[in-house]
Structure 1
């Protein structure tokens, strides 16, 4: 372990003497604070902050980040307050340390929730100062390097968290070297045997490949020399975790993956990159469709390079990356490569720094919209996708989205309101389904309509965290307003039995009941009633303070309009339609489920006023309702077409159809037909009866 003197000497190559002394001061302060504390390995605790600072020094980070690295465990592990650090080292360093410190003194229901809350706190701190995440990543990297002393279960938990969150964050910030080390160390901790076997296989393969690698390297170097271009050719090694991922994801054998030879050509100028590309395409044949220009369109994390795949000698595939020295530095250290922290707010960060800021701003928005910490962390995981597609707005602006994104993801990336009111899309000027995955280079146009709402089905195909979070948020708001509306109707219905109404009850009495139920406002109580979490007639009795009284018969059933939305659903077991006698079953959290009066599934609770409520259909009921019909008829050619045209002639719509033969002569067809009411159903059945060979038609009920 390098001492503080060795570190100070390294820092003096790029920091001023005063700044190096501040880092020394922070080290000695941490040494005193952690005095007597030891790590699991038996070393003095201060060796950990020193190692974290060394990792940051490799990235040429500024003195405040290094001081924060020295002090990052002081608040959590030694009881020294943030204010004390602020007085000693200034507000900025104290904020950084506080951002990196883990959440403590809080009880969570589960480890997952604790980790999610931790990450949320870190995201908030990142938004204030992005260096927080760099110190945190360096802290995690040293912990990963020293995992051996922990128990197997703890090792796997930390490795899983690293692979799921910290490696993708390092990737998102363009820090390739750190990501590779995270992945290889995490892989070794999660799957020690697999890691060792792949390592041994790579070692063997490397020996066998040496001759071919040298030949290809030599021919590429000679090619550059002939063309009069300066450049360095390096054989690129695949790291263990990426080999393992490819073997699993693409179901390839180890030999197939190791058959690809990879090289990097590093040159001085951007102009030379394209000239080198031309030269290597002349030397070996390029593989069609495998060229990618990340210099003209950089990846979201700022990565720039030209990628091409060639047919080498004996048909060996060769992957080549061509980039400048600056791009190489950028690819390895990402945001930390050009660390120029601007303290002045008006100075805008540029390039990768700006991209990282933009990403953190997006994370903050997700955090504000997410329902809870676990939902937030799920969104962030989705958002850390490494592969992007690049699509264009109709005005030619480039939007980068994760692979597999759809037009809905694109709509939310443009603006939340565009996403919320989106009804259709055009991809390359043709109308396309909203669920169609986007391909790079496509132009996407979103069609919106005022008053449109997000569809719950979108959650099945959206990819980005932003889209998922905003859809959930909008649906929650919609569900809440619908629950409040239904709750109010149910409560007034129960109060009508006492010859009262919500408007007649004094505000004082309502406040008293709200206090009793631990609700802040009347809307919360109505929402609970609408969702079926509280019984309307129990709430009505509490409001009227008449616990002893028996509830008289209500004035009549509650009318169903069919437009109640998410809080009212129709039972799939008996498929009620307007005109059928119906009852409502109050199901906690789901709202009201409408059943037929004769449905066997609610037979036992049918007369329980706490569980069921008498319903009727309103005169102006609207919507389409599914009914299942069983049609027995003589077997004949074109049977399905005949049934479909008959249903269509009666303005019905077939949602689902299935058929089984009872014997060689009679067929039984199950139809799910969409109708408006019982009169419409009778019309459909009449049309079907008119068909030749129909023996019997029955409506299927539970």
Structure 2
């Protein structure tokens, strides 16, 4: 157990005027209150509050926050009371401890209705005093560091809650180091195989190239010294979860990522940032499209930096971030910098964003939007926390701030709901673009509207802002409510019959009440619009039938919904859509429909034939590995490699239906493997398992026209005309 003297000495390093008596009294009081209590590891319980206090002292926080960390569990877990804490340590500390206690008691992974209400309470507590969430984040980080001592099911619950709520919240508060660690600790629990595969690739890379970080760091230092620029240079490997997320977002293999290493140049002033940028670009070739200037357009959490990617030593792509020391402090500690002390005084960092601004706007918007349901509220909160901003311009020059990945439809809804609903087209920088185009920083957007236009169902998966999603869902419910209710009745009947139950009005009313919905029609409308699934309905009414051993046999097969009576559909060979991917149908002559993924390039051919477009969806249900997908694999030309790859695919319960070598070299082979999988998640698991093999260089999903020998053996029966 860390002695109080050591904690006080650490606080004194940044706050010589600290109230030693206050911290010492809190330490002794907390130790006394928790006496006889132990953690799952067997350690005295008070070791936990001390570690939280040390974590917060490393952020140079004020005495009240440090004392709150030491006492954050006394009201909840001991005989101590709010009144006694206030009497001993003051009202400010008592209010902070009480706030942390209330957050600890919130269930953030419960059913949507309760979870939404509890997240509202979390945000309101933060809006009163952000130090409450700083203590709670420190509490969660230490608990995640020691999570191995919990029961497996408790580990899963805490890790999921951390990944969904606390990690993105830390990121939104600008505490990037904490977000990275929380995500990686959760990743270790939720997907240990994927994390280990990333670690193995890092180890293989180090064995092949030695540790390149010191080498590249010295290269950058030499360049700056030659340009007579004083700066600190540091380098590091990205966290496994950060690498994994990039692989999923870009659908690329480990070896294709350009930012598995990150290097920072920390300068004395802003002018030296651009001088350093010029020196780096003069020495190495800049990678096109990889430059970001967050100095002129800071992120909403106060982050400022210049990012560039260059082809460095031995052609390796390297990401370099450049910022001043004050900018770096905000980038690392975020909102904590707003409360930090130096030499006994609050430090005024000019780049710190007032945390109350974001919280006030967020809670005000939610209070006004009474019609927003629980699911939409949670979705909106998570989008607000995860968003990385882009800035676009209206034709008049007004700036519209949007999250990364936003589309012209998001842009239209950001201006006004009426403009979003009537949107029919868009021009970006003077060129006409599809409505699903992802906007980039600095672009000028002109939205075209038409009277009588209504939001399209396919927009739901195109837009990313909570405002747009909420408005589109509301409009679609109003327009298609009767049809959704009819379809929902059929889906409810099928789902309940599969578990030997009957779909009655009483059962549906009971389910709607349990889910916090207005009535059974609201439940049926959500079923019909694919906002919830038949398995969700069964789990609410008969949770005992949804045990792990029955989930796979009780749910209906995944099918395509949205077809007209008598129509049949088949996947496009150009994009090989899988369950879990958003799909669009193109009606053909006769009664056939060919469906494509939302981002299939082939859809551009039908941009002027919107009457043939059909909004289709996969139902959520049990699927067998019968859906075709093609992966391109580059592997070493060594004995036994191909056999291992085939074994790895089989171990993931996928089938190899065809295999074709496309290139043979003395050292490497390239081949196309057509596999049969359940859905897009199953495909990602297969690709991860294959890429983890040390003799596999790259694994990529292959879309587009296949050669005759690789064509699917499934009957076609219809062609697009």
Q: 1:9 to 1:412 in 2, by over 3 A?
A: farther
User: Is the counterpart of residue 153 in structure 1 residue 84 in structure 2?
Assistant: no
User: Is the counterpart of residue 173 in structure 1 residue 173 in structure 2?
Assistant: yes
CA distance in 2, matches of 1:259, 1:454: 38
The Cα of 1:396 is off from its aligned counterpart by 3.0
Cα contact 1:264–1:322 (8 A) shared by 2? yes
Which position in structure 1 is the counterpart of 2:327? Answer: 327
SS at match of 2:296: coil
Which position in structure 1 is the counterpart of 2:590? Answer: 659
The Cα of 1:272 is off from its aligned counterpart by 0.7
Which position in structure 1 is the counterpart of 2:485? Answer: none
SS at match of 1:658: coil
SS at match of 1:326: helix
Q: 1:188 to 1:234 in 2, by over 3 A?
A: same
Which position in structure 2 is the counterpart of 1:225? Answer: 225
Report the count of equivalent residues: 505
Cα contact 2:183–2:241 (8 A) shared by 1? yes
Deviates more, 1:259-268 or 1:218-227: 259-268
Which position in structure 1 is the counterpart of 2:667? Answer: none
User: Is the counterpart of residue 134 in structure 1 residue 134 in structure 2?
Assistant: yes
Cα contact 2:393–2:400 (8 A) shared by 1? yes
User: Is the counterpart of residue 240 in structure 1 residue 228 in structure 2?
Assistant: no
The Cα of 1:196 is off from its aligned counterpart by 3.8
SS at match of 2:264: strand
Matching of residues 11-30 of structure 1 within 5 Å: 11-15=11-15, 17=17, 19-30=19-30
Per chain length, whose mean CA-contact separation is higher, i.e. which structure has more relative contact order (CA < 8 Å, sep 6+)? 2
CA distance in 1, matches of 2:251, 2:221: 34
Matching of residues 11-410 of structure 1 within 5 Å: 11-15=11-15, 17=17, 19-78=19-78, 80-102=80-102, 110=110, 114-210=114-210, 212-257=212-257, 262-339=262-339, 351-354=351-354, 357-359=357-359, 361-366=361-366, 369=370, 371-410=372-411
Which position in structure 2 is the counterpart of 1:440? Answer: 441
Q: 1:189 to 1:212 in 2, by over 3 A?
A: closer
Deviates more, 1:66-75 or 1:283-292: 66-75
CA distance in 1, matches of 2:442, 2:103: 44
Q: 1:315 to 1:350 in 2, by over 3 A?
A: closer
SS at match of 2:19: helix
CA distance in 2, matches of 1:65, 1:243: 34
The Cα of 1:71 is off from its aligned counterpart by 2.6
The Cα of 1:316 is off from its aligned counterpart by 2.7
Q: 1:306 to 1:49 in 2, by over 3 A?
A: same
The Cα of 1:6 is off from its aligned counterpart by 1.2
SS at match of 1:290: coil
CA distance in 1, matches of 2:37, 2:421: 54
Q: 1:81 to 1:432 in 2, by over 3 A?
A: farther
Cα contact 1:295–1:304 (8 A) shared by 2? yes
CA distance in 2, matches of 1:108, 1:250: 30
| CA shift digits 1:260-319 (9 cap, x unpaired) | 654322221110111111111111222222221122212222222221122234433232
| CA shift digits 1:154-200 (9 cap, x unpaired) | 11221122122221121222212111211221122223344345334
Q: 1:355 to 1:414 in 2, by over 3 A?
A: farther
The Cα of 1:436 is off from its aligned counterpart by 4.4
The Cα of 1:150 is off from its aligned counterpart by 0.6
Deviates more, 1:6-15 or 1:264-273: 6-15
CA distance in 1, matches of 2:31, 2:66: 15
The Cα of 1:337 is off from its aligned counterpart by 2.5
The Cα of 1:530 is off from its aligned counterpart by 10
The Cα of 1:127 is off from its aligned counterpart by 1.6
CA distance in 2, matches of 1:457, 1:366: 25
CA distance in 1, matches of 2:111, 2:45: 25
Cα contact 1:52–1:135 (8 A) shared by 2? yes
TM-score by length of 1: 0.61
Cα contact 1:99–1:121 (8 A) shared by 2? no
Which position in structure 2 is the counterpart of 1:591? Answer: none
Q: Which has the larger radius of gyration?
A: 1
Unpaired segments ≥5 residues, structure 2: 342-347, 482-508, 510-517, 529-563, 568-585, 593-609, 613-721
CA distance in 2, matches of 1:107, 1:289: 42
Cα contact 1:392–1:399 (8 A) shared by 2? yes
Cα contact 1:301–1:334 (8 A) shared by 2? yes
The Cα of 1:123 is off from its aligned counterpart by 0.8
Cα contact 1:123–1:360 (8 A) shared by 2? no
| CA shift digits 1:29-78 (9 cap, x unpaired) | 33343333222122222222221111111111122222222232233323
Deviates more, 1:160-169 or 1:462-471: 462-471
SS at match of 2:218: helix
Deviates more, 1:241-250 or 1:453-462: 453-462
CA distance in 2, matches of 1:331, 1:402: 19
Which position in structure 2 is the counterpart of 1:6? Answer: 6
Unpaired segments ≥5 residues, structure 1: 342-347, 481-516, 518-526, 534-565, 570-625, 630-654, 662-671, 675-702
SS at match of 1:441: coil
CA distance in 2, matches of 1:295, 1:108: 35
Cα contact 1:425–1:447 (8 A) shared by 2? yes
Q: 1:444 to 1:15 in 2, by over 3 A?
A: same
The Cα of 1:140 is off from its aligned counterpart by 0.7
The Cα of 1:146 is off from its aligned counterpart by 0.9
CA distance in 2, matches of 1:86, 1:372: 38
The Cα of 1:336 is off from its aligned counterpart by 1.2
Cα contact 2:566–2:591 (8 A) shared by 1? no
CA distance in 1, matches of 2:310, 2:400: 29
